[in-house]
A and B are shown apart, each in its own frame.
Chain A
Amino acid sequence: MTDTLTPDSKIIAVPSAPPAETRAMRLRNFWSDYRQSWVAIAALIVILALLLGSFFAPFWVPQDPYDLAKLDWLDAFLPPGTEGTGGYAHLLGTDNAGRDMLSAIFYGLRTSFVIGISAGALALAVGITIGLTAAYFGGRIEALLMRIVDLQLSMPAILLALVMVAVLGQGIPQIIFALVVAQYAYFARTTHGAASVERRKDYIEAARSTPLPTWRIMFKHLLPNVLPPLIVVATVQVASAISLEATLSFLGVGLPLTEPSLGTLISNGFKYIHAGRYWLSIYPGIFLMITVVAINLVGDQVRNVLDPRNSR
């Protein structure tokens, strides 16, 4: 921006009430800001490709890795690119049970996504409820709730998740629950921070003077105004949920081998690393890394775009 006055800028500078922003306009503005970074565009494409590829995995991968009848011991430990008894080339090799790695990875990726997204969504819901309740009611409720949240934030998520799986045992629902316990506090803190500012504004006072029920004011009036920072936290938390789950599964306390996620596959492959059979653990690891980094890159760009200091 320059301070010099050009003839054109006079016309623009005519004071007039700006038109109310519609949702479609906001979305279009968001998109035009977002696409400024080609890295962020590439990351978004990668995530979409992985999401589609994993959810439609049964339709395109060469093998159902859970169907024991289709596995052949003769195919065990085939290096990448070798043709197995099935009559097709195993692009990423096979594991100790003769499972096609490409198929196993995309099925595993699907499990990882399901866990990461559902844990993120549930943690978001719990965190929003707690954060809004604390900010709206204030006083003792706020002090108690935020004290618990702060205490949890001071402990590393991996430790909380470890405690939870130690208590709950293995399985997909247990892992999701453990991740929600480990992560809701981030959402609660962010919601509380933004909502405490909004809470003092006039429109909330105005809404409170009408006979609207409290929950309606909280979720219909307060919530939409605290959403932007939450979107950023949500993207980052999905990535960290996926990597936490992989870590737990790698440690052997996450998912059992009957429901393998990427972490389980890496854990299984790690046993054969010294035998030079790198493909069992390297390929699922690469997919895990790409997924997590891509989600984080998208989150970074969303943060840049939504940051009021960067608005044009």
Chain B
Amino acid sequence: MFGYLVGRVAQAVVVVFVMSIIVFVGVYAIGNPIDVMIDPGATAEIRENLIRQYGLDQPLWRQYFTFVGNVLQGDLGRSMVYNTSVTGLVFSRLPATLELVLVSVTIASVIGIPAGLYAGYKPDSIAAKLIMALSVLGFSVPTFWIGMLLIMAFAVELGWLPSGGRGEVAQFLWFKTSLATTNGWEHVIMPAINLSLFKMGLLIRLTRAGMVEAMGAEYVRFARAQGLPDRQIVFSHILRNISIPVITVFGLELGSTLAFAVVTETVFNWPGVGKLIIDSILQLDRPVMVSYLVMVVILFVMINLIVDLIYARLDPRVRLKGGS
């Protein structure tokens, strides 16, 4: 087990390094950020100074090592557009994204799990077919298009909800959140629904599949034979059995919510990290691009590593293979 653990961690470190080189070289191969930043009429001297200030006169490999050295000391560089530290920039945007993700995951679970249970409980009913059709829509229709329809219906036509932005924020414990104000809730609800649809579709399918399988299982037949009411069978027997795979897959999918937030945040002009990365790509803000991408790579590699280690703990075959 210990050998396996060391091997997997080493592999994860190698992956992060390789990906960081690819991202770094790739991002630095495009365009010259200096041309975007300064006015074309500026003197050659100002230009030279600026290039030297950002270290762009150094060879690429040295720039990379400077970058890695700084990252290991917790310094992700300075944004060329906002002229603040990237770390500060990302952390100032992070609460907005996290609250959006939190609300959307809650919506997805509160609606998706009961809907999936019902669809599996009565698979031939019209309501179940409707639920499944909606889950297919959640999967296949592009997120930005649904977001736009929501804006058109609830903001432009009906005027019930604001079309974008984050609204008022208020202090809650140690950070500022819009979930502490009514106005903030009005702003968050539409983007959160938009972001939740894909996850909801996934949850519906997972719970339904588990439910259908459980309905035919021995233990459910036995519980029925004992004369237990259906409600008790579903909520205290089946739900407990299908929750493990559902939670596993759902947990894995949490990371991808971050990626989908890029789209939703752009549609609803939500000032989170997703909007930040899109803006930085459009404005050629290299330090922000590289830092965000490397951070996301680290996040996903860590999720993978944790899942692998948990599986190794649970599955003796993996444990033995890795240990030898």
User: Which of B48-56, B95-103, B254-262 makes up part of the contact surface?
Assistant: B254-262
How many residues on B have C-beta within 8 angstroms of the other chain's C-beta atoms?
A: 43
With contacts A270-B148, A293-B140 taken as known, whether A166 is within 8 angstroms of B256 at the C-beta atoms is no
Q: Is the CB of A162 within 8 A of B277?
A: yes
- Cβ of B293 under 8 Å from chain A: yes
A252 and B142: CB pair below 8 A? Answer: no
Cross-chain contact A296 with B136 (CB below 8 angstroms): yes
State which of A154, A156, A247, A296 has its C-beta within 8 Å of the C-beta of B144: A247
* Residues on the A chain within 8 Å of B277, using CB: 162
Question: Contact partner of A266 among B148, B282, B300, CB < 8 A?
Answer: B148
User: At the interface, is chain A mostly helix, strand, loop or mixed?
Assistant: helix
| B182 CB → nearest A CB, Å | 23
Contact B163 A274 (CB under 8 A): yes
> Which A residue's beta carbon lies closest to that of B12?
A151
| Beta-carbon contact of A158 and B282 below 8 Å | no
Most chain A beta-carbon neighbours within 10 Å: one of B144, B259, B277, B300: B144
Which among B30, B140, B156, B278 is the interface contact of A169 at CB below 8 angstroms?
B30
B144 and A250: CB pair below 8 A? yes
State the majority secondary structure of interface residues on B.
helix
Q: Of residues 25 to 44 in B, which have CB atoms within 8 Å of A's CB atoms? A: 26-27, 29-31
Interchain CB contact under 8 A, B163 and A163: no
| Docked pose: A56 CA to B24 CA in angstroms | 43
A274 CA to B300 CA in the complex, in Å? 38
Say how far A169's CB is from chain B's closest CB, in angstroms. 6
Judge whether A5 is part of the interface by a CB distance below 8 angstroms.
Answer: no
Shortest Cβ distance from A248 into chain B, in angstroms? 10
Contact call A159/B259, Cβ cutoff below 8 A: yes
Q: How far, in whole Å, are A253 and B145 apart by their CA atoms in the complex? A: 16
Q: A252 CA to B30 CA in the complex, in Å?
A: 17
The reply to whether the CB of B15 lies closer than 8 angstroms to some CB of chain A is: yes
Residues of A near B23 (CB, < 8 A) are 163, 167
B303 contacts the other chain (Cβ, under 8 Å)?
A: yes
Contacts of A140-172 to chain B: CB distance below 8 A: 147, 151, 154-156, 158-159, 162-163, 165-169
Closest to B136 in A: A296
CB <8 Å contact, B262 and A162: yes
When distances are taken between beta carbons in the complex, the residues of chain B under 8 Å from A154 are 252, 255, 300, 303-304
With A166-B281, A167-B29, A281-B148 as given contacts, are A293 and B141 in contact (CB-CB < 8 Å)?
A: yes
Complex Cα gap A138–B54 (Å): 47
State whether A151 and B151 are in contact (beta carbons under 8 Å apart), knowing that A167-B29, A276-B156, A293-B140 are contacts in the complex: no
**A159-B296 contact, Cβ under 8 Å, with A276-B156, A278-B152:** yes
Is B143 in contact with A247, judged by CB distance below 8 angstroms?
yes
Interface pair A156/B142, CB less than 8 Å apart: no
The yes or no answer to B276 lying at the interface (CB within 8 A) is no
Query: Which residues B236-273 have CB closer than 8 A to chain A?
Result: 252, 255-256, 259-260, 262-263, 266-267
Bound-state Cα–Cα, A274 to B155, Å: 9
A127 proximal to B (CB < 8 A): no
Q: Which of A167, A266, A296 contacts B140 (CB 8 A)?
A: A296
Contact A156 B281 (CB under 8 A): no
Q: When the two chains form their complex, are residues A167 and B26 in contact, meaning their CB atoms are under 8 A apart?
A: yes
Task: Give CA–CA (A153, B15) in the complex, Å.
Answer: 14
- Encode contact with B along A272-284: 1 for CB under 8 Å, 0 otherwise: 0110101001100
- A123 in the interface, Cβ–Cβ < 8 Å? no
- The answer to whether A251 has its CB under 8 Å from any CB of chain B is yes
- Whether A252 pairs with B293 at a CB distance below 8 angstroms is no
Inter-subunit contact A156/B256 (CB<8 Å): yes
Contact across chains for A247 and B304 when beta carbons are under 8 A apart:
no
Are the C-beta atoms of A285 and B148 separated by less than 8 Å?
yes
Residues of A within 8 A of B15 (CB): 151
Q: Quick check: is B71 within 8 A (CB to CB) of the other chain?
A: no
CB–CB B266/A251 < 8 A: yes
Interface: B137 (CB within 8 A) = yes
Residues of A within 8 A of B282 (CB): 252-253
With A162-B262, A166-B281, A278-B152 known to touch, is A293 a contact of B137 (CB < 8 Å)? yes
Chain A residues within an 8 Å CB radius of B136:
293, 296, 300
User: Residue B289 at the A interface, CB < 8 A?
Assistant: yes
Q: How far is the CB of B82 from chain A (nearest CB, A)?
A: 18
Please, which residue of chain A has its CB at the minimum distance from the CB of B164? A274
Q: Is A130 positioned at the interface, with any CB of B under 8 Å from its CB?
A: no
State whether B27 touches A166 (Cβ < 8 A). Answer: yes
- Using A252-B282, A292-B142, A296-B140 as known contacts, say yes or no to A158 and B156 having CB atoms under 8 A apart: no
Residues of B within 8 A of A296 (CB): 136, 139-140
Q: How far is A250 from B143 in the complex, measured between Cα atoms in Å?
A: 11
Q: Quick one: given A154-B303, A163-B26, are A273 and B152 in contact (CB under 8 Å)?
A: yes
Closest Cβ of chain B to A164, distance in Å, is 8
Report which of A155, A251, A273 forms a contact with B278, defined as CB distance below 8 A: A251
**CB-defined contacts of B145 to chain A, threshold 8 Å:** 246, 266, 285, 288-289
Instruction: State the Cβ distance, B93 to closest chain A Cβ, in Å.
Output: 17
| CB-defined A-B contacts under 8 Å, sample of 19 | A154-B255, A155-B259, A158-B262, A243-B141, A252-B278, A252-B282, A266-B144, A273-B156, A281-B148, A285-B145, A285-B148, A285-B149, A289-B145, A292-B140, A292-B142, A293-B136, A293-B137, A296-B136, A300-B136
Question: Apart from A154-B255, A251-B262, A289-B145, what are 5 other A-B pairs with CB-CB below 8 Å?
Answer: A151-B301, A163-B293, A167-B29, A246-B145, A292-B140
Q: Which residues of B contact A (CB under 8 A)?
A: 11, 15, 23, 26-27, 29-31, 136-137, 139-145, 148-149, 151-152, 156, 163, 252, 255-256, 259-260, 262-263, 266-267, 277-278, 281-282, 289, 293, 296, 300-301, 303-304
**Which residues from chain A sit less than 8 Å from chain B, CB to CB?**
147, 151, 154-156, 158-159, 162-163, 165-169, 239, 243, 246-247, 250-253, 266, 270, 273-274, 276, 278, 281-282, 285, 288-289, 292-293, 296, 300
